[in-house]
């Protein structure tokens, strides 16, 4: 699929369809910061999906002199594949299920409800650790840049967009390291722009980590440390 001149999806053609291509998340943050240069000092808010994307979001926020915070969401997954998302749950209770996928999974209503519960429990635990009682930032009147490692099915990004719209966000931009072109185009219908240095057109795209030479897990402790750089300690995250 060729990019159209007026497309809302922005990639780096020299990195298109390459894998692996990134040394680590820090490199992705630097590339995205360059692609998002127009937002430097704009007052935009960078919202990263923890935990891994916090590393990328922090690099963007530092380079562009922007505030950084988190949006805690989780994929809704079938029992046999914890990596495949057929929906998502957000920190404030929004639930999104992909009705184009759900019927083909053969799940009972009870199994779907159990999958939603597992995702909700994960969101609650992570929110308690990383946000504690700290209130969610005000979104009105400022651009919001949502950051994630990459986009496969797009379930977590979709539920994030829905929740942020409910919270008053008007201008939303998605920034991801890698993504399948179909998921990127679908997301572009929901936001103002999508930035993705490593657009993937291949049919064999199966995991975000394929684009990274190093795709280490980021611990809750490391995520909390990154947040403390941008959030005053007295407003910092809670404890487990």
Residue 22 pLDDT exceeds 70 = yes
Which CATH number do you get for residue 34? 3.40.50.2020
The pTM score is 0.92
Side-by-side strand order, sheet with 87-90: 73-76, 87-90, 95-97
Tokens of 31: 């590339």
In a domain, 21, yes or no: yes
pLDDT at site 204: 72
Tokens of 81: 């594949």
pLDDT, tens digit (0-9, with 9 covering 90-100), for 155-192? 999 999 999 999 999 999 999 999 999 999 999 999 99
Enclosing domain of residue 214: 9-72+139-230
CB 54: neighbour CB atoms within 10 A? Answer: 28
pLDDT, tens digit (0-9, with 9 covering 90-100), for 109-123? 999 999 999 999 999
In a domain, 160, yes or no: yes
Q: How many domains does the chain have?
A: 1
């Amino acid at each position: 699929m060729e990019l159209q001149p007026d497309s809302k999806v922005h990639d780096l053609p020299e990195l298109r369809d390459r894998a692996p291509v990134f040394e680590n998340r820090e490199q992705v943050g630097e590339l995205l910061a360059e692609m998002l240069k127009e937002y430097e000092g704009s007052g935009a808010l960078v919202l990263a999906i923890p935990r891994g994307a916090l590393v990328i979001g922090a690099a963007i926020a530092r380079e562009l002199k922007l505030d950084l915070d988190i949006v805690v969401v989780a994929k809704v997954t079938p029992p046999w594949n914890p990596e495949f998302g057929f929906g998502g749950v957000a920190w404030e209770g929004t639930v999104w299920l992909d009705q184009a996928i759900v019927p083909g999974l053969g799940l009972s209503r009870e199994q779907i409800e159990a999958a939603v519960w597992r995702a909700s429990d994960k969101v609650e635990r992570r929110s308690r650790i990383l946000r504690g009682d700290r209130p969610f930032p005000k979104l009105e009147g400022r651009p919001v840049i949502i950051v994630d490692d990459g986009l496969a099915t797009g379930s977590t990004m979709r539920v994030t967009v829905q929740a942020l719209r409910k919270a008053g966000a008007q201008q939303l931009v998605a920034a991801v390291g890698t993504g399948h072109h179909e998921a990127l185009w679908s997301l572009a219908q929901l936001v103002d722009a999508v930035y993705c240095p490593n657009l993937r057109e291949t049919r064999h795209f199966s995991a975000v980590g394929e684009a990274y030479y190093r795709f280490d897990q980021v611990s809750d402790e490391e995520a909390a440390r990154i947040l403390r750089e941008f959030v005053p300690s007295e407003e910092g995250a809670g404890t487990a």
